């Protein structure tokens, strides 16, 4: 009997030891997988802006000095309740001063900055593209992307995509980064290239974005206003060009200040005003509550700067004052652009 008991005990011990060993091996494999996955998520990948040396100086000291000069020249009182901006996206020699005036109005820091800029070269029908890299780099250094925020956007895969070609050489988003680096210094970046979107896609993008942002978020819409002249295929008038351009642009701004996205889009369609960032503007307007106040900061044209209105681009800056409310997060959906599911 004692021998049988010992054999049974030895057998139980052997089985127990085997189970423990298997468990340890499985745990180690899972840990390795988790570490590998975390390593992949944490892997550093940098997108280097291609604008340096063309749209702005490629020398860090020269670039910083230029932008600090623009900010020092800007005479405006800081505001602590700015939640969004409209900024131009031309080369700094043309629109840098206009952009700096709005940026100097920022009276606080932000954890996250989202820049919505139009796609100038790549067709993105009813799509918005975000990059899957960890940092953007300019001559002023590297800025980390908010990868968790981007991951949550990509959960809405029928609308938000990651198309590297959409970001390569696209100046509308990248041009804002050095300005933001000088004014805000530390923040996480969310660059979004916006495609050619229908009204349902605009509305869906607005609800998704609004559901993810908080009061530590600054939203920047990157857009130039009217592009006038044969170079741009748009010359609806030939007399009093400066006055007619301002009238045209202020008509668009009036709809923007009223926070009326459909009216703004209708005005643009009726006048055919060549406002390249009309879709990003419409997304922002759709995100805003009625209590938000818009304030125009500056307006000029390249024609006024160069003295030549044969071809001219308009630059307008505005701030939007208020607070981003806590909103309902939109559940991922692969349905049509107009379909939304709240959680």
Query: Which two structure tokens, joined as six digits, stand for 201?
Result: 């896609």
Helices assigned H by DSSP within the chain: 2-42, 60-73, 92-104, 147-154, 164-167, 171-174, 176-184, 199-212, 241-257, 261-271, 278-287, 302-306
Alpha-carbon distance 143 to 113, whole Å? 11
List residues bridging with 124 in a β-sheet.
Answer: none
Rounded Cα gap, residues 46 and 60, in angstroms: 18
Judged against a pLDDT cut of 80, whether residue 266 lies above it is answered with: yes
DSSP state of 50: S
Average pLDDT over residues 226-250: 97
The Cα–Cα gap between 156 and 139 comes to: 33
**pLDDT band (50, 70, 90) for residue 307:** very high
* Average pLDDT of the chain, as a whole number: 87
Contacts of 114 (CB under 8 A, 6+ apart): 190, 192, 209, 213, 217, 218, 219, 220
Q: How far apart are CA 256 and CA 160, in angstroms?
A: 25
What are the tokens at 113? Answer: 């900055």
Going by pLDDT thresholds of 50, 70 and 90, the confidence category of residue 322 is very high
Q: Which pLDDT value is given to residue 75? A: 92
Coil vs helix vs strand at 185: coil
- Whether the CB-CB separation of 339 and 333 falls below 8 Å is answered with yes
- Residues 221-239, mean pLDDT to the nearest whole number: 96
Q: If pLDDT is split at 50, 70 and 90, which confidence band does 165 have? A: confident
What confidence tier does 42 reach under pLDDT thresholds 50, 70, 90?
Answer: low
Residue 98, Cβ density class (10 Å: 0-12 exposed, 13-18 middle, ≥19 buried)? buried
**Residue 140 near residue 64, CB atoms below 8 Å:** yes
Contact 122, 340 (CB under 8 A): no
**Average pLDDT, integer, range 276-288:** 97
The reported pLDDT for the residue numbered 131 is 94
* Paired tokens of 316: 């307008």
Q: What is the DSSP string of 281-318?
A: HHHHHHHS-TT-EEEEEEEEEHHHHHT--SSEEEEEEE
Hey, what's the torsion of the CAs at 82, 284, 164, 334, to 10 degrees?
A: 130
Structure tokens at 35: 């570490």
Output 205 or 26, whichever has higher pLDDT: 205
Query: In whole angstroms, what is the distance from residue 102 CA to residue 85 CA?
Result: 7
Separation between Cα atoms, residue 172 and residue 143, nearest integer Å: 17
What are the angstrom distances between the C-alpha of 45 and each of 4, 131, 152, 335? 64, 11, 19, 32
Which pLDDT does position 183 carry in this prediction?
96
- With tokens 């509550």, the residue in question is 289
């Amino acid at each position: 009997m004692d021998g049988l008991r010992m054999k049974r005990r030895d057998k139980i011990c052997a089985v127990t030891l085997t189970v423990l060993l298997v468990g340890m091996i499985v745990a180690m494999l899972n840990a390795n997988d988790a570490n590998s996955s975390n390593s992949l998520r944490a892997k550093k990948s940098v997108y280097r802006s291609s604008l340096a040396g063309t749209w702005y100086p490629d020398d860090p000291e020269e670039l910083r000095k230029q932008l600090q000069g623009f900010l020092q020249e800007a005479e405006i009182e800081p505001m602590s309740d700015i939640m969004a901006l409209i900024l131009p996206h031309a080369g700094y020699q043309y629109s840098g001063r206009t952009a700096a005036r709005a940026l100097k109005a920022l009276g606080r820091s932000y954890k996250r900055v989202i820049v919505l800029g139009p796609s100038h070269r790549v067709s993105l029908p009813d799509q918005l593209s975000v990059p899957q890299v960890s940092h953007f780099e300019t001559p002023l250094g590297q800025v980390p992307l908010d990868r968790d925020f981007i991951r949550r956007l990509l959960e809405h895969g029928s609308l938000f995509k990651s198309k590297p070609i959409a970001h390569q050489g696209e100046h509308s988003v990248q041009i804002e980064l050095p300005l933001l680096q000088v004014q805000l210094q530390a923040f996480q970046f969310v660059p979004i290239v916006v495609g050619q979107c229908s009204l349902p896609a605009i509305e869906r993008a607005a609800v998704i974005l609004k559901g993810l942002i908080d009061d530590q978020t600054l939203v920047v819409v990157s857009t130039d206003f009217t592009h006038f002249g044969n170079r741009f295929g748009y010359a609806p008038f030939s007399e009093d060009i400066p006055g007619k351009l301002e009238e045209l642009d202020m008509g668009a701004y009036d709809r923007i200040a009223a926070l009326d996205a459909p009216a703004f889009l209708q005005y643009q369609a009726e006048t055919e005003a060549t406002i390249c960032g009309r879709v990003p503007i419409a997304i922002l307007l759709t995100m805003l509550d009625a209590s938000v106040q818009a304030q125009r900061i500056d307006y000029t044209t390249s024609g006024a700067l160069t003295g030549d209105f044969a071809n001219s681009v308009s630059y307008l800056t505005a701030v939007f004052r208020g607070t981003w409310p806590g909103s309902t997060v939109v559940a991922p959906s692969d349905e049509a652009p107009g379909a939304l599911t709240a959680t």
